[in-house]
Amino acid sequence: MRGGAPVLVALAASTLAGERLHGAQWSAVGLICAGGAVLTFGASGRTGSRASTLLALMAAVLIAGYTLVDGIGVRRSGSPAAYTAWILILGALGAIAVSWRRTEGRLPAYVLQKPGLVLLGGAGGGGGGAARDLDRVRHCNRRAAAARAHDARPCCRRQRDRTRCGGDAAGLRRQ
């Protein structure tokens, strides 16, 4: 729900964090609510699907949650740069742990094999790129192994023509 997160942040900050909103800020919250209503109900008064509205509202709640946590964390830490650095470091450690698990411990070899791609992915914030690449490599390796096993069958060794023995190009169809 576009605009839902700022409204939720304003409401939660004023009630939970003791923030004081001025008249112009409350007017902005009202305009955001009006705009959200127009987008949700449209000019005809019909609503979209309940599922899509619920998912959008859940996304707004999550965005508002981390916005509040970050806002309160930065203020309480006393150093916005240090807070941001710790958030980035801890997030990176979490991403490394998840990637390590998803790649079944092959992450160091991948990093050594493609350091430029890893650095580019880190700079771009693509997140999970290494794990996706390793999933693709694993998938291609399985297809290649299936093709080799298919080629080793007696009919393929004799004919060297997969179409005559019923195999497909990837060697995945079984007789």
Contacts of 162 (CB under 8 A, 6+ apart): 150, 151, 156, 168, 169, 171
Q: Are residues 118 and 99 in the same domain?
A: yes
Q: Are residues 21 and 84 in the same domain?
A: no
Q: Are residues 47 and 85 in the same domain?
A: no
Stretch 30-58: mean pLDDT: 75
Which domain range does residue 32 map to?
1-78
Q: Are residues 74 and 22 in the same domain?
A: yes
Q: Are residues 63 and 90 in the same domain?
A: no
pLDDT at 51 over 70: yes
Mean pLDDT, the chain, as a whole number?
74
Q: For a pLDDT cut of 90, what percent of the chain falls above it?
A: 2
pLDDT at 102: 87
Q: Are residues 8 and 43 in the same domain?
A: yes
Provide the domain count of the chain: 2
- In the listed set 43, 78, 113, which residue is the last one of a domain according to the structure? 78
**Which tens digits make up the pLDDT trace of 6-22?**
888 888 888 887 888 88
Q: Are residues 86 and 73 in the same domain?
A: no
Q: Which residue has the higher pLDDT, 39 or 82?
A: 82
**Which tens digits make up the pLDDT trace of 101-153?**
888 888 888 888 888 887 787 666 544 444 555 555 555 666 666 776 766 66
Q: Are residues 19 and 56 in the same domain?
A: yes
Stretch 79-102: mean pLDDT: 88
Q: Are 150 and 156 within 8 A, CB to CB?
A: yes
Q: pTM score > 0.75 for this model?
A: no
- In the listed set 62, 78, 94, which residue is the last one of a domain according to the structure? 78
Q: Are residues 100 and 175 in the same domain?
A: yes
